[in-house]
Amino acid sequence: MAEMTPITYSAEAYTAERIESLRQEESEHSRRFRMSAASGQRLPHRFPTVDLFPMRELQDMKPAKLREIEKMPGHTPRPEDRPEHPLRWDEECLRYTSQTKRNFFLGFIRGVGLVSFFTVLPISILVVIYGAFERRSPQASFFESLNWEMPVVLLMSSIIMWGGVSLVYRLLPNFAAGFQPGPMWELNRRTGMVTVFANPAKMRTAWQVEHQLPFHEFDCYLQNTPSHQGLPQFNRSLAHYRQEVHVALVGMFGATSSHVEQRAAWDMVQRYMDTSQPLPDTPLWEEFRPLDPTSLEHDRRTGRPPRYWRDMDDEPFAQKVHEHQDKLNAFYRG
C-alpha cells in the first residue's frame, strides 16, 4: 500500500506574491533566443492566481472515464514507480518527456493502416458489388475495367499495418511503447523549482539536471505558428527572464487553434505552482487533492465533496462544460 501522507512544501515553494520580487540582473538573451523561445506575447503573472483551466481538462476527462481508471487493477494516486517515471501529473510535480522514436514510428504505421483500411474498405465493397451485378460488354466501362487485385492488396496491407502493429503493442509492450529514458523538464509544486534535464533520449545523460531555477523567474510567451494548412496554431513557452533556459510546454499541453485555451493553460500552471492556493479544481487533479496540504485544508473548510467530479452524472457534467466555456470567454475575451 502506497504512503498517502500529504506532501510538505519546501521553504522555497512558490507563492504568487514572489512574482513581485525585483529582477535586478539584466537579460542575457541573444537575438536568436528572443526570436524563438522568448518570442510572442508575454502572458501576465497573476497575483492572486485564478482557478481557470482549458476546456480539454473537462472534455478529455469525463467522470465516466475517471471511474473506469479507478477500477483498473492496482490503480493508486501514488504508484510505486512514480518517483522514477519520466512522465508525471500529480500533487508534487508536472514532469514531461516525449515518446521514444520506436513508439512514434510504430504509432505512425498503425495510424496509416487504420486510416487506409477505412478509406479502401468502402471502395473495395463498391467495386465488388459493381462487378457482381454489372454485365460485361466489349465496350467495358471504366469501372468494369478496374483491377480487383489492387483494392484487395491495399486492404490487406492496411490490415497488416494496423493489426500487426497492434499485435506488437499487445505482445511486446516494453519493446513497442514507452517514453524516453529520462524527462525533458519538470515543474515542481513542492519545491517551486523548474528543472530542465539534459538529453533524455540517452541512458548516460537521462536524469542529468542541466538547469534548475525558481518558477517565479520564468515568463510565459504565447506563440503563434501557422499549421500546414496555413491556420493559426498557438502554443506556449516558459523562458527564464535572464538566462537562455526555456521549457517548451507544447508537448504536454499541445498546440491549439484557440489562444483562449493557451491562456487558460498558463493560468492553470500558475495556480498549480502557487502553494498558497489549492490545486486547480479539474477532474484530473481531483484524486490528488487529499495529498496536497493546501487543497486538503481548503476542501475541509469549504466542504467540497472529495468526489465532486468523479461521481457527477453526464447531464450536470455537460452543463458544467458549457458554463466553463462561457467563463473562459468572459474572462479572456471580455
* The pLDDT of residue 80: 92
Cell of 177: 511503447
Cell of 314: 453526464
Cis ω before 226 (30° cut-off from 0): no
Neighbour-count burial of 87, counting CB atoms closer than 10 A to its CB (0-12 exposed, 13-18 middle, 19+ buried): middle
* The pLDDT of residue 225: 84
* The pLDDT of residue 145: 46
Q: What are phi and psi of 73, to 5 degrees?
A: -55, 130
Predicted TM-score of the model (pTM): 0.80
256 to 222, 270, 293: CA distances (angstroms): 11, 19, 33
* The pLDDT of residue 143: 47
Give the residue extent of every domain in the chain: 16-98+184-333, 101-176
pLDDT tens, N- to C-terminus, the chain (334 residues): 568 899 999 999 999 999 888 787 889 999 999 999 999 999 999 999 999 999 999 998 999 999 999 999 999 999 999 999 999 999 999 999 987 666 666 566 666 767 766 676 676 666 656 555 554 555 555 444 445 566 666 777 777 776 766 776 676 665 655 778 899 999 999 999 999 999 888 888 889 999 999 999 999 999 998 777 777 899 999 999 999 999 999 989 989 999 999 999 999 999 999 999 999 999 999 999 999 999 999 999 999 999 999 999 999 999 999 999 999 999 998 7
